[in-house]
Structure 1
Amino acid sequence: MLICGKPTKHRDQGWSWVVLFTSFTIQLLCDGSISAYGVVYAGVKNDTYFASANYTEKQITLPGAIQSCLYVIAMGFAGPIVNTLGFQLVACVSSLMAGLAMVAAVFFKDIAGMIVFYGVFSGK
């Protein structure tokens, strides 16, 4: 049976399911990292080092607030960059940058390092 001149069987060989699963996973990780700062906040607040450093709640919430703000602001700049360089390159570079920034933020024992790496670099 033909629809629009193409055989209905084996049109994409299942590739659309790979694209669907991959795009869902990327969306889950990107939006999940923005929405999940409450879990990070609870861990930082209960950490013995951060508790002994006497950081205020406002200081502890800064990395998550900066990350979510820069995430939204970066969307305006991402459109023209995607039009110029292509979606695949921009998505790969930005996700690699965000992932490495989150890994680097784990090793900092002060709030300034978390603000720079978790807030700024992972917020893009």
Structure 2
Amino acid sequence: QVNLNGTQIDESTQLSQKWLLVQKIVTQGAKGWDLSHVDLSCASFVSVDFTDADLTGANLTGTHFSSVDLSNAKVKDASFIGCTGLSKSTKLALKEQGAIVDDELIPAEMKVN
């Protein structure tokens, strides 16, 4: 996982487009953003607002979440495999909305068929 919290990025910083986007999300939040089909894998998002964001088909594999707001986010076909920091109830809610999550992390009595 890559944690860009507190980093200072300017025009001389050399990062791929993916990590520049991650840094922008970390510093500005992503409320209402279209992040559909974007690779955000292995990032670390702490206190990030994803309210109303479109994460349809996004790759969030191996990403760490802490105190994030995913309210009303579109998550159909988004991959949350191997993510850390999400509660079981959040993972269940994501799965119910069509996201791909680690089934073994959801108790059997809460699984959606």
TM-score range (shorter-chain normalised) is under 0.3
For CA contacts below 8 A with separation 6 or more, give which structure has more relative contact order: 1
- TM-score of the aligned structures, taking structure 1 as reference length: 0.18
> Highest CA radius of gyration, 1 or 2?
1
Structure (1 or 2) with the greater helix fraction: 1
